[in-house]
Amino acid sequence: MKRTSILILASVFFFLTVFTVFTVVSASAAASVGVVNLQKVLDTSSAGVAAKKKMEVKMKELKASLDKEKKALVALQKDMQKKVDVWNESTKKEKALELQRKKRDFRVKQDDANLEMRNLQEKYLAPIMKKLEVVVQEVAKDKGVSVIIPNTAVLYHDKSVDMTNEITAALNKK
């Protein structure tokens, strides 16, 4: 008797679960979904291209400065390796400390350059992303799309739901 009741309850629970899943799936099937490649929008939109050019100029400037300093550091290290045999112990220690200081200073400058580039990226891309959010909402309403998600969050999508070009064109108009 107890087994029969448990079996009946389990069957009822199973059918309710299946019915609920079926209802949710059929309700969500009515919702339309769009997919957008945000990186492509940023790379091809006029605002994204302009921001990228500004950041590249600064990146080249920082890279040139760091490359110059790196060459000097490598030259110093090679010079030290040549002369290490003729130096006494105190000179060796002094030169080793000098090299370590210069390497540390170089790493600090690299970190500063990376931080500066992240700040520039935020400065130039944040306003674009705010505009993009508005544009995505407008395009979704115009096209009757319920949800637009980035392509990086999707394992597979049909090309017919890709809205990258429409969103890029709408962003360029703004």
Tell me what the mean pLDDT of segment 76-104 comes to.
89
- Residue 86 to residues 62, 80, 94, 96, 154: CA-CA distances in angstroms? 37, 10, 14, 14, 64
Domain ranges of the chain: 1-30, 31-173
pLDDT-based confidence at 11, cuts 50/70/90? very low
The predicted-structure confidence for 36-49, as pLDDT tens digits, reads as follows 999 999 999 999 99
Asked if 34 contacts 147 with a C-beta cutoff of 8 angstroms, the reply is yes
Backbone angle region of 55, left / alpha / beta, with phi > 0 → left and psi within -120 to 50 → alpha: alpha
The predicted-structure confidence for 152-162, as pLDDT tens digits, reads as follows 988 998 899 99
Q: Enter the pTM of the model.
A: 0.63
pLDDT-based confidence at 5, cuts 50/70/90? very low
Half-sphere exposure of 69 (CA within 13 A, CB side): 17
Quickly tell me which residue has 């700040």 as its tokens.
119
Say what the pLDDT of residue 14 is. 40
Task: Provide the strand spans (E) within the chain.
Answer: 33-36, 147-150
Task: Please report how the helices 164-173 and 46-83 are oriented relative to each other, as an axis angle in degrees rounded to 10.
Answer: 100
Asked if 157 contacts 35 with a C-beta cutoff of 8 angstroms, the reply is yes
Q: Is the pLDDT of residue 148 over 70?
A: yes
CATH 3.30.910 fits 31-173, yes or no: yes
Say what the pLDDT of residue 40 is. 94
Asked if 103 contacts 73 with a C-beta cutoff of 8 angstroms, the reply is yes
Q: Is the pLDDT of residue 150 over 50?
A: yes
| Residues found in the chain | 174
Q: How far apart are alpha carbons 43 and 122 in whole angstroms?
A: 15
Tell me what the mean pLDDT of segment 130-156 comes to.
92
pLDDT-based confidence at 25, cuts 50/70/90? very low
Tell me what the mean pLDDT of segment 142-169 comes to.
92
Q: Is the pLDDT of residue 16 over 80?
A: no
Task: Provide the strand spans (E) within 24-130.
Answer: 33-36
